[in-house]
Structure 1
């Protein structure tokens, strides 16, 4: 019995560690669910909010707290210094995005992602369509710089993989503001480009991932109970077998007249 108890204690310790890990992972998934719900609420609120003037945002480094803030800018595009951002998708359709510098009235230059242009994945990137002439009024969402390796943010022949103001500024003859704008609408309009889409507003798989982790922990505890009960059942069967083996064999009774 002592050996069984030691084995049970060792198994209990192992199951306790596994169950604790499962509970922590489940709680982590629930925290991620809460964060995603908060992000969705913030996106919905900002999508419906009135745009703020661009000078309120782009006079300083753009922070994560300003991400997806609606902003309004008025200025003129630099059509000679556009960038094609490769390997993008919109609703699962492959293509590119076109980024152009927009010089505002106070001289600040802000990068504006004018929109999406469908293009085959393995074909050469299409040329950037020209932006509207003259003064343009842009409404869009504030975005922080996309991060990646140097080769992804440094443009080559006017093409790059990520939208990063510091990386793209290296190919421009003037400084640009931190961050960029994902265009929602403009006046004049952009007929050749599709506006960028907001991130998917869903809870994602986090709740069901949490349920799975909690189930894994519960299965481990249930398995421990089943294992111990099986040990006890085997022990009872062994004791009964030994008892039968130790019992003296009964001699046959003599028959009458024998």
Structure 2
């Protein structure tokens, strides 16, 4: 069994099964778990009245445990220029998403996602309605920082533009210190444009994909074991037949024919596995 073919096959199957169990299956199962948790938070957010923003933030302004997608209410004023999120379509429509700093009554500030506007000619910024002035009370859903995108911000068409929603990065652009999460406005709120639609409460096929990777990780070594067993069984059968032929030749049977017809031992894997070049050679010899 220690032939190069079997050894290479065993190594490849071992590597595949290892990644199926340690990376591929956990990746899909983790995505399913995250979606289930998200859906539970969204459902719970609409089962009761919005909570004060301060109750869902940590002392340092960070997002509290399990607070993402919470529905919160905040009072303050829009302070600062609009920053646009680029290259993020909404329902397949080329769009610019509008991010605006919002200063709370207690002096802290948070980034507010005011919604989106349709891009003109797919790349041009349309007229954007300004945020209202003065004190307002807004309701939205807390969202986690997406992190800083590898592409640096740019200034184009009169706006600073970013590639991800990172309150820290936006705060650096507008010169304000913003809380870690951001607030995504719901419809009919002061300053909202076209509100970002909430995600569908479904998990997709991630659970079935995860279970499939587990099944593949089990089936691959099981198949290898089966083929090893089949090959070993065929080897034993071939050896037993050869021993039986040797015993028959030495058991006192009538002497051999002085002019025996040429014969060959049975192929281990049947005539279908015989060498076609050898068959051609045999035919030439018979002629």
Higher gyration radius (CA):
2
Residue 102 of structure 1 is matched in structure 2 by 102
Q: Deviations over 1:175-227 (max 9, x none)?
A: 4444321101344474xx22113344322333222232232222421331233
Aligned CA distance change for structure 1 residues 47 and 225 (closer, same or farther; 3 Å): same
Residue 203 of structure 2 is matched in structure 1 by 203
Equivalents in 2 of 1:129, 1:180: separation in Å? 20
Residue 36 of structure 1 is matched in structure 2 by 35
Residue 213 of structure 2 is matched in structure 1 by 213
Please tell me whether the aligned partners of residues 84 and 125 of structure 1 are also in contact (alpha carbons under 8 angstroms).
no
SS at match of 1:110: strand
Residue 256 of structure 1 is matched in structure 2 by none
Equivalents in 1 of 2:8, 2:188: separation in Å? 65
Where does 1:83-94 land on structure 2 (aligned, <5 Å)?
Answer: 83-94=83-94
Equivalents in 2 of 1:30, 1:170: separation in Å? 36
Please give the TM-score of this superposition, normalised by the length of structure 2.
0.68
Aligned CA distance change for structure 1 residues 71 and 22 (closer, same or farther; 3 Å): same
How large is the Cα RMSD of the aligned pairs? 3.6
Greater strand proportion: 1
SS at match of 1:139: strand
Residue 138 of structure 1 is matched in structure 2 by 138
Shift of 1:99: 1.4
SS at match of 2:174: coil
Equivalents in 1 of 2:21, 2:166: separation in Å? 39
SS at match of 1:87: coil
Please tell me whether the aligned partners of residues 86 and 162 of structure 2 are also in contact (alpha carbons under 8 angstroms).
yes
Residue 158 of structure 1 is matched in structure 2 by 160
Residue 229 of structure 1 is matched in structure 2 by 230
Which 5+ residue runs of structure 1 have no aligned equivalent? Answer: 253-258
Where does 1:57-96 land on structure 2 (aligned, <5 Å)?
Answer: 57=56, 60-63=60-63, 65=65, 66-78=67-79, 81-96=81-96
Higher RCO structure, 1 or 2 (CA under 8 Å, sep 6+): 1
Q: Deviations over 1:55-78 (max 9, x none)?
A: 434663222622222111223324
Residue 248 of structure 2 is matched in structure 1 by 247
Equivalents in 2 of 1:57, 1:31: separation in Å? 25
Equivalents in 1 of 2:149, 2:14: separation in Å? 42
Please give the TM-score of this superposition, normalised by the length of structure 1.
0.74
1:179 aligns with 2:178: no
SS at match of 1:62: coil
Which 5+ residue runs of structure 2 have no aligned equivalent? Answer: 257-287
Aligned CA distance change for structure 1 residues 130 and 145 (closer, same or farther; 3 Å): same
Equivalents in 2 of 1:231, 1:186: separation in Å? 74
